[in-house]
Amino acid sequence: MTDENSSDLVLVTGAGGFIGGHLIGELRRLGYTRLRAVDIKPLGQWYQRFTDVDNRILDLRQREACLEAARDAQQIYNLASDMGGMGFIETHKAECMISVLINTHMLMAARAVKADRFFYSSSACVYAADKQTRADVEPLKEADAYPAMPEDGYGWEKLFSERMCRHFREDFGLETRIARYHNVYGPHGTYDGGREKAPAAICRKVIAAQLAGANEIEVWGDGEQTRSFMYIDDCLYGTRTLMASDVREPLNIGSDELVSINQLIDIVEQIAGVKLKRRYDLSAPKGVRGRCSDNTEIKQRLGWAPSVRLRDGMEKTYRWIYDQMVTPADRRRVYA
């Protein structure tokens, strides 16, 4: 994909987080010279930070902060939200809903500065719950978000913000692009503390058992719930391709490689060279029974779909998390 606007000022919000940090790094690699990275976290807590980028600490729930962040930006990637894995979003519904302020104020700021394009990172959590009740779930098509019955809290916020993007385009002419991400994973992400998602959590548990000489890990649910997981490189390419496209409707960006949590554990055990007992906690948060991306639309509209095999992506993710867990905190490479 040709990058014709590499001299534009590009804003990435949530840049101290997992996907945002990777996106800044990718745009740097592609030759973008005017990048602004914004996050609410102190710089020392950013997953990746680059010294040649305009890094700013701002609370984007506030309208004035959004105006400051967006000033002179031609392209805006809005990845900022208060979120995490199932253990977080099932127990922090109000906090997840408050993220609606971020997207509302960022849309208003994008309009005010006359930005050329605005990207919104939505989620597969917008899909109706009654279409995700079986482990052998039918892949979710974009139309399956309606009639609306999304994940309580986080999913409702994402679906509402999708509609905001649509109406800002229809009423004000702001070109918006919307991706429904499906379970993004990879290095340089959260792997402990309560916000981590299943791939990183399972890697951490297996590594911790190895290091402690234990022979058992805890699994949330019965392990038969299913998901598809997308490696970060696919996420970045899909995001940029969608941003540059003429696709105005929400689009799935996710893998269609469906696996159960038990199968995901099998993969991590193979990478680690161990076999562990599994203690199932049926009372733990586990989300919908099954979820997988239908990639028919993205193939038709973008001529591409995520293709990194889960085994390959998990190998890289496992190695990175292992290095983090065995390296003293003061010696880890956090910034680039």
Q: Give residue for tokens 């805890």.
A: 218
- Among residues 47, 77, 127, 154, the one annotated as catalytic is 154
Using CA atoms, how far residue 231 sits from 127, 185, 256, in Å, is 21, 5, 12
* Half-sphere exposure at residue 16, Cβ-oriented, CA atoms within 13 angstroms: 17
Q: Give residue for tokens 């598809």.
A: 228
Residue 275's CB: how many other CB atoms inside 10 A? 9
- Would you call 47 a catalytic residue per the annotation? no
Residue 320's CB: how many other CB atoms inside 10 A? 17
Pairing of strands 258-260, 226-228: antiparallel
Residue 299's CB: how many other CB atoms inside 10 A? 12
For the record, the structure tokens of 274 come out as: 């161990």
Residue 4 to residue 174: CA distance in whole angstroms: 20
CB within 8 A of 2, min separation 6: which ones? none
Q: Which residues are catalytic?
A: 154
